[in-house]
Structure 1
Amino acid sequence: MHTAQAWLAKIRDLPLPDKVRLMNVCGGHERSISMAGLRKALPGNIELIPGPGCPVCVCPEQDIYLAIQLALHEDIVLVSFGDMLRVPVNVPKSAIRSLEQAKAAGADVRPVASPLEVVRIALTEPQKTVVFFAAGFETTCAPVAGMVAEGIPDNLLLLMSGRLTWPAVALLLESEQPGFDALIAPGHVSTVMGPEEWQFVVEQHHIPTAIAGFSPESLLAATYSVLRQLIEQRPFLDNCYPQVVKAHGNQAARRLLAKTLDVIDAPWRGIGIIPRSGFELKAEFAAHNARLKFPEATDNASHRAGEMPPGCDCARVVMGKIRPVECRIYGSACTPRTPVGPCMVSDEGACRIWWASGMRKELAETVVIA
């Protein structure tokens, strides 16, 4: 196996075009790229674009607002993965803007690390209604599906806000300006769903694609692969993470997803409805669907569809249209200590990752990606 230095040497030896744009759609990839300094290590004509790889960042405003209102006004325990607690909604500063603020105001809001922890809370407090606000991509939704399939306590409800990764990429590719020349596909999603999920990028759009892991070596191997494909004009789907990504993925996890969750048209924050991009509980589990349990609150929250904070360009960052430093409020109104948009909140958000790696506006060229 080549070292990172060896892959960099092979990439530098390639007859590269004047400019080539590579998109990744995984927050873990973006973190590895930024923390390893790969942007600076690669030739300057290679642009690495962070794409829709952060599930917290695309969780729709109305879902977050609904979770906050349920926590504040219903006699429930609201549990969610940690990143979700700090994501603000677009309400006046005098109002409660996040689950973290709702907790500070007295609501019973608890961060959790896994569905097993959620079940434990529901079992140890059977007199309470527990609402699990479940946001995430396929890798997060698979264990949620396993939790449902095993049978969950009667007092546990789910507010599902799961999303599939590939439909956002399909939306970009079907637009007039996709904004990238090759794709670095996500390793963990491919581990669950199988590499075949990304075959459409090659077959329908003739764009080179390689699945990568999270080490610099795997990311550089995938980079070399797609660059070779571009130069030779021979696009194909390459698996540069064969240690864990196998044909057809994790079939047990896929069966659990199919057994418990429907794939539906779903909203993405600031982007709109993307066809067949969301997960929702199947009708047979309706007794555990928080939206059905609290219809009035759900209806009120639905009126907040599409809301984004003034000046926030997170949707354009998520879709790879601008770099994080090109957001109008990056580093000024919006920092990790005072986040305005979700991309600065989540550890998988491109803005948070760029800030953590030391990227500031004054250090970056103001070149628009697309």
Structure 2
Amino acid sequence: MSVARDQLAAIRALPLSGPVRIMNVCGGHERTISMAGLRTALPNDIRLIPGPGCPVCICPEEDIYQAIRLALDERVVLASFGDMLRVPVNVPRSAVRSLDQARAAGGEVRPIASPRDAVRIAREHPGRPVVFHAVGFETTLGPIAAMIEEGLPDNLSLLVSGRLTWPAVAMLLESEQPGFDALIAPGHVSTLMGPEEWTFVPEHHGLPTAVAGFTPESIVAATLSVLTQRLEGRAVLDNCYSAARPGGNTVARAALERCFDIVPAIWRGIGSIPGSGFALKPHLAAHDARRRFPGYADEARRNAGAMPPGCDCARVVLGKILPPECRIYGSPCTPRTPVGPCMVSDEGACRIWWSSGIRERSAERRADAPAAPA
């Protein structure tokens, strides 16, 4: 902690000439920042902005709808990570709007904590189809690839909603108004894929970048690094997380390459991002839920995949506004009655800010924020 105190003192002593916006990609980073009170410990000119690091928040609405319909209309056991069960889809309130409600309506929906739980459930029910809704970023898809290579039961299929993190950051940087001046890159993704995956940020966009772990000390070190780079007029990738080594986890990366193709993919409320999605390789087609249950891939729902009316979760995910600037933050959207996905997951920025004690909408909104609905 003494090192962190010294680094905080060094940050406070920096001769900043104006506001510096630092985006943290990872929901785990945002949780540490909020729970440790780092925003209040830093000078006001340093603005820490949560980014697109919540897989639950950006999971396509149509994928969740498909999982709901499979649970209700087919005799399947639907397994999904616990956070996904409460994410609402865009249907009338009188209809089943979440996997939790599908379970209450008689669907067999099982919350799981590990991909191997899905394998166990399939083996316990050899006479029934089991569908695992596989949601997550690289660090979740790595264990799923290992599970696949260990051998899947014949009755287990995967509804894959996996995403890569870096293409969303690239999309933001290629937009007209990126909204941040430096980047704190996710340590766990860098451990798997290699920290060099983030070199495009300083090399192609000239933004200081640092990889951080999940302790306050690591995030403070990364913050000091990018601020120092900015003051010195340089932009490099600084690895402040010793567990992330060049090349990443080569065994896990090879398994990902053997099991998945990289394809364009929908991010909820954002649209399609090239090269950002995982799809099962053709040799695994027998375990692809989209192929096994083709009637539930409803292309007409792609226009329904936006955030719910009034919900600004997509703008929160993109770092355009902070959680309390959402039009429905705190009323009606709360963790008990979530309207948007950012208020559901422990990695969702709105849920994190609420849990840290911020319970009301901001009185002031950013200039680029949309007006509240009439």
Q: TM-score range by the shorter chain?
A: over 0.9
Kept in 2, the 8 Å contact 1:179–1:369? The answer is no
CA distance in 2, matches of 1:355, 1:94: 28
Kept in 2, the 8 Å contact 1:323–1:368? The answer is no
CA distance in 1, matches of 2:61, 2:362: 32
Tell me what 2:189 maps to: 189
**Per-residue CA shift, 1:283-317, capped at 9, x if unaligned?**
00000000011111113564455332110111000
CA distance in 2, matches of 1:142, 1:222: 26
Matched, 1:340 2:330: no
Q: Which runs of 5+ in 1 are unaligned?
A: none
Tell me what 1:291 maps to: 290
Matched, 1:360 2:359: yes
Q: What letter corresponds to residue 122 of structure 1 in structure 2?
A: A
CA distance in 1, matches of 2:310, 2:294: 32
CA distance in 2, matches of 1:303, 1:159: 16
CA distance in 1, matches of 2:230, 2:368: 19
Tell me what 2:372 maps to: none
CA distance in 2, matches of 1:166, 1:253: 18
Structure-2 change in CA distance of 1:204 and 1:94 (3 Å): same
Q: Secondary structure at the match of 2:222?
A: helix
Task: Trace 1:1-370 onto structure 2 (pairs within 5 A).
Answer: 3-242=3-242, 244-299=243-298, 302-361=301-360, 365-367=364-366
CA distance in 1, matches of 2:362, 2:161: 36
CA distance in 2, matches of 1:200, 1:288: 35
CA distance in 1, matches of 2:96, 2:273: 29
CA distance in 2, matches of 1:53, 1:100: 23
**Per-residue CA shift, 1:77-118, capped at 9, x if unaligned?**
000100000000011000000000000111000000111111
Q: What letter corresponds to residue 287 of structure 2 in structure 1?
A: H
| RMSD of aligned alpha carbons | 1.4
**Per-residue CA shift, 1:11-47, capped at 9, x if unaligned?**
0111112100000010000000000000000000000
CA distance in 1, matches of 2:3, 2:95: 52
**Per-residue CA shift, 1:140-164, capped at 9, x if unaligned?**
0000011111110000000000000
CA distance in 2, matches of 1:275, 1:38: 34
**Per-residue CA shift, 1:330-352, capped at 9, x if unaligned?**
00010000000000000000000
Kept in 2, the 8 Å contact 1:62–1:304? The answer is no
Kept in 2, the 8 Å contact 1:271–1:306? The answer is no
Q: What letter corresponds to residue 350 of structure 2 in structure 1?
A: C
Q: Secondary structure at the match of 2:335?
A: coil
CA distance in 1, matches of 2:290, 2:214: 36
Q: Secondary structure at the match of 2:85?
A: helix
CA distance in 2, matches of 1:363, 1:293: 47
* C-alpha deviation, 1:55, in angstroms: 0.4
Structure-2 change in CA distance of 1:362 and 1:276 (3 Å): closer
Kept in 1, the 8 Å contact 2:22–2:48? The answer is yes
Kept in 1, the 8 Å contact 2:327–2:361? The answer is no
Kept in 1, the 8 Å contact 2:90–2:305? The answer is no
Q: What is the count of residue pairs matched by the alignment?
A: 369
CA distance in 1, matches of 2:367, 2:52: 17
Structure-2 change in CA distance of 1:364 and 1:45 (3 Å): farther
Question: How high is the sequence identity, in percent, across the aligned residues?
Answer: 68
**Per-residue CA shift, 1:230-250, capped at 9, x if unaligned?**
0001110000001x1111101
* C-alpha deviation, 1:362, in angstroms: 5.7
**Per-residue CA shift, 1:226-275, capped at 9, x if unaligned?**
00000001110000001x11111011110000000110000000000000
Kept in 2, the 8 Å contact 1:86–1:100? The answer is yes
* C-alpha deviation, 1:366, in angstroms: 3.5
* C-alpha deviation, 1:367, in angstroms: 3.9
Runs of 4+ in 1 over 6 A off after TM superposition: none
Q: What letter corresponds to residue 359 of structure 1 in structure 2?
A: I
CA distance in 1, matches of 2:362, 2:90: 30
Q: Which runs of 5+ in 2 are unaligned?
A: 370-374
CA distance in 1, matches of 2:223, 2:81: 32
CA distance in 2, matches of 1:143, 1:302: 30
Q: Secondary structure at the match of 1:249?
A: coil
